[in-house]
A and B are shown apart, each in its own frame.
Chain A
């Protein structure tokens, strides 16, 4: 399709340059792109452009290494895309909830986060089963562990979970709404706290957009330090997830060791900027703090020590037949399902779907780590493989940190009437930020698509035919963000 506007990752375009086509053509192009051209939906949203309501789609074409944009005018309804391309289903529910635009024919239309002021969370129609062996188990929003709130309904036939329905929205605090009217002193903090465990990835996205709009080049040393911080974020979270999986199957040695080692890596991030989650480190134009030679040496020592202890701890777990038996063939999502519903990141790669922003948009020689099984074990193994890669990146960066400045002055303003978009492969998967400015250079609209937004339905699919007792490890193996989804 020639109608798409092709953009590189991090590019910006004038609002008027976004192609606008008729709805029939729009639908055909998107369905063709997703089902035949191997594109994936990075963002699909409704917004006001030149005082008219439009649907805007951003597809990621990994063959061309481009983002493809297309829009269409929309009234109060349009024929749903979900029936032809299920990857749109969650996006269409979001658009319906936020803008009251009806995707006609969507078979499962209900709020995804109960964000309307008069919405009563949890009060909605749920799937139900009838019959002698049918029963329902409801869990949450407050769970037994120290985790975020969400409501889960298991529809069971005897011992088997027939369907799991996931109801989110409890963490909804209006991040996107608060961002409009910026940029101001709050903007970067709101971006960083959309999902508090992915602060570096999110800040990278916003800063890349701000830098493109202001034509600011980030110094090489700052680029390296940013990558270092991003990989440390990935390492800490992957270690935490593997430790938590070990904990959930009651394999305490790895659980205890990983809990501590994760902290060691968070402390390395804190070494960079004072905050264990990397807050206030990445700023438009570079990074806030440099790392001196003593700091580099200290980090090098700690990384080597941490790496040794980590793989020792993981070895115990992956060598234990009792652990493998519990993880193997539990919560399987096939590659076909993963592709069809638009899963991304670790969970998709564990189902054998090789998609990764690092390869698909950024560089040619990166090879995504995939495993074929699609089960809990595969999701654990993908993390283990990525840890090896990330630790190598960290060690290489520390050894070869470029010299020079760590900041280029970057104005706090944005270009007027411009759309900027950037994706980064955060530790869970692809994280997409889209920023649209008005004629005064103020933020009119920000769309954040957290990897969890793509993947929550994958967790529901993983539970089919499993038992309720499999839920904790399935959930851990995805470890999706509630706040990143609810915003």
Chain B
């Protein structure tokens, strides 16, 4: 036991300061994009692997639910900011144009009241590449420790307040996803995490895909990214339960 205490001392206390401190993001991090006035939309459209360009109030915008943040359109007058507070509760809020951005607030008092101090999540992996799952798992490590906010991944949908779905929902996972949702006590919430879950991402046009998630279940929280950086996902969950 003495050895373990020594080990604990050697390894130190390493849980990140985020939040409330700003997260430590890499230099080349691609956050929420901003379409500049001089942007060459046609050139950017041709480079985009997921057809993420759309219109918002008549102006060109990037649907960050489709965007995989490859950053190629940065050469065409799109600025990838360091804004990591990208998640939204409505799909349209994910459209990024030239206008200033403020993250969407959780207005549902019920969610704040019921989940503000305890959110139990059942994760369902449905046809993705496993990177989204891996970076959700990371929130469980002591570097991020989502447990300190009462957020926990649970084994059974019967114990869950929310399911967090990753992947474009392969046809082969459709039934299992529906059954998992049905097994959850209501009210419950659905979180679509990662470009595949939000929009199908790079797999949107595959005949083997039945998604995206909001074609199958009512989605309450969309988290962009390929995969979402742990800071993006943790911020999303905290804002969703009214803690940010």
Binding site for B on A (CB under 8 A): 113-115, 117, 121, 141-142, 144-149, 169-174, 177-178, 185-186, 189-190, 193-197, 199, 240, 253, 256-257, 259-260, 262-264, 266-267, 270-277, 279-280, 289, 295, 309, 312-313, 316, 481-483, 486
Query: Is the pair A172, B141 in contact by a Cβ cutoff of 8 Å?
Result: no
Q: Which of B87-95, B119-127, B236-244 contacts A (4 or more CB under 8 A)?
A: B119-127
Bin the interface of chain B by size: 35 or more
Q: A-facing mask of B201-228, CB < 8 A → 1, else 0?
A: 0110111110000000000000000110
Q: Residues of B at under 8 Å CB distance from A?
A: 3-4, 7-8, 10-11, 14, 24, 26-30, 46-50, 68-72, 123-138, 140-144, 153, 155-157, 167-168, 170-173, 175-176, 180, 202-203, 205-209, 226-227, 229-230
A270–B230 Cα distance when bound, in Å, is 12
Across the interface, which residues of A come within 8 angstroms of B229, CB to CB? 276
- Minimum CB–CB distance for B112 against chain A, Å: 25
- Closest B-chain residue to A169, C-beta based? B172
Q: Are A256 and B141 in contact (CB under 8 A)?
A: yes
Contact indicator B26/A316 (Cβ below 8 Å): no
Q: Do A172 and B70 touch across chains, with their CB atoms under 8 A apart?
A: no
A173 contacts B48, C-beta separation under 8 Å: no
Say whether B29 contacts A146, CB under 8 Å: no
CB distance A141 to B26 under 8 Å? no
Chain B residues, CB < 8 A from A171: 125, 127-128, 167, 170, 172-173
A196 B172 Cβ-Cβ under 8 A: no
A270 touches B26 (CB 8 A): yes
Please tell me which one of the listed residues A114, A146, A262, A313 contacts residue B136 in the complex, with CB atoms under 8 A apart: A146
Q: Report the bound CA distance from A149 to B171 in whole Å.
A: 13
* B176 pairs with A170, CB closer than 8 A: yes
| Contact (A253, B4) CB under 8 Å given A142-B180, A259-B140, A270-B29 | yes
Give the distance in Å from the alpha carbon of A174 to the alpha carbon of B169 in the complex. 12
How far does the alpha carbon of A289 sit from the alpha carbon of B227 in the complex, in Å? 20
Name the residue of chain B whose CB is nearest to the CB of A114.
B172
- Known contacts: A197-B131, A276-B135, A481-B130. The answer to whether A173 contacts B176 by CB under 8 A is no
B126 CB contact (under 8 Å) in A149, A240, A274: A149
Measured in the bound complex, the distance between the Cα atoms of B134 and A302 in whole Å is 22
A259 touches B28 (CB 8 A): no
Q: Nearest-CB distance from A419 to chain B (Å)?
A: 25
Which residue of chain A has the shortest Cβ distance to B14 in the bound complex? Answer: A260
Nearest CB on A from B64, distance (A): 16
User: CA–CA, A147 to B134, complex, Å?
Assistant: 8
| From A114, A253, A276, residue with most partner B Cβ within 10 Å | A276
Residues of A within 8 A of B27 (CB): 271, 274, 295
Q: Which one, A144, A148, A266, A309, contacts B155 given CB within 8 A? A: A144
Max chain A Cβ within 10 angstroms of own Cβ: one of B128, B157, B172, B227: B172
A170 touching B170, Cβ below 8 Å:
yes
Separation of A114 and B170 alpha carbons in the complex (Å): 11
Number of A-B residue pairs at CB separation under 8 A = 180
Q: Which residues of A contact B180 (CB under 8 A)?
A: 142
Most chain A CB inside 10 Å of its own CB: which residue of B11, B46, B130, B143: B130
For the complex with contacts A144-B156, A309-B11, 7 further pairs of A-B residues with Cβ separation under 8 Å are: A146-B140, A169-B172, A170-B173, A259-B143, A260-B142, A271-B27, A272-B28
Q: What are the residues of chain A within 8 A of B138 when measuring CB–CB?
A: 259, 263, 266
Chain A nearest CB, measured from B234 CB (Å): 13
In the bound complex, do residue B172 and residue A121 qualify as a contact, i.e. CB atoms below 8 Å apart?
yes
Contact A146 B137, beta carbon cutoff 8 Å: yes
Assess the B131–A196 pair: CB atoms within 8 A.
yes
Residues of chain A with a CB closer than 8 A to B157's CB: 142
Ranked 3 nearest A-B pairs via Cβ: A274-B28, A196-B129, A196-B131
- How distant is the Cα of A256 from the Cα of B168 in the complex, in angstroms? 31
Residues in B with CB closer than 8 Å to A173 are 127, 167-168, 170, 203, 206, 208-209
Most buried by A among B11, B123, B125, B227: B125
* Chain B residue contacts of A185, Cβ below 8 A: 46-49, 72
Contact between A142 and B176, CB atoms less than 8 A apart: yes
Q: How far is the CA of A146 from the CA of B156 in the complex (A)?
A: 11
Contact between chains at A483 and B7 (CB < 8 Å): no
A115 touches B208 (CB 8 A): yes
The chain B residue with its CB closest to the CB of A268 is B26
Residue contact A260 to B49, C-beta cutoff 8 Å: no
In the assembled complex, 15 residue pairs joining A and B whose CB atoms fall closer than 8 Å, in A order, are A117-B207, A173-B209, A178-B205, A178-B206, A185-B47, A185-B48, A186-B49, A253-B8, A256-B142, A273-B28, A274-B71, A275-B69, A279-B70, A312-B7, A486-B172
- List chain B residues, Cβ under 8 A from A264: 143
Q: Nearest chain B CB to A471's CB is how many angstroms away?
A: 15
Is B127 touching A170 in the complex (CB atoms < 8 A)? yes
**Known interface pairs A271-B26, A274-B27; A195-B129 also in contact (CB < 8 Å):** yes
Complex: chain B residue closest to A252, CB-CB: B4
Instruction: Find chain B residues with CB under 8 A from A289 CB.
Output: 28
CA distance A366 to B208 in the complex (A): 41
**Cα-based distance from A190 to B229 in the complex (angstroms):** 20
A364 to B103, CA, bound (A): 55
A177 CA / B142 CA spacing, docked (Å): 40
Q: Is the CB of A146 within 8 A of B70?
A: no
The chain A residue sitting closest to B174, CB to CB, is: A121
Q: Are A178 and B203 in contact (CB under 8 A)?
A: yes
Asked if A253 and B7 make an inter-chain contact with CB atoms under 8 angstroms apart, the answer reads yes
Chain A residue at minimum C-beta to C-beta distance from B180: A142
A171–B177 alpha-carbon span in the complex (Å): 12
When distances are taken between beta carbons in the complex, the residues of chain B under 8 Å from A277 are: 131, 134, 227
Nearest CB in chain A: distance from B170 CB, A:
5
Q: Which residues of A lie under 8 Å from residue B173 when comparing CB positions?
A: 141, 149, 170-171
Question: In this complex, what residue of A is CB-closest to B3?
Answer: A316
Distance in Å from the Cβ of B211 to the closest Cβ of chain A?
10
How far is the CB of A88 from the nearest CB of chain B, in Å?
25
Cβ–Cβ < 8 Å partners of B133 in chain A? 146-148
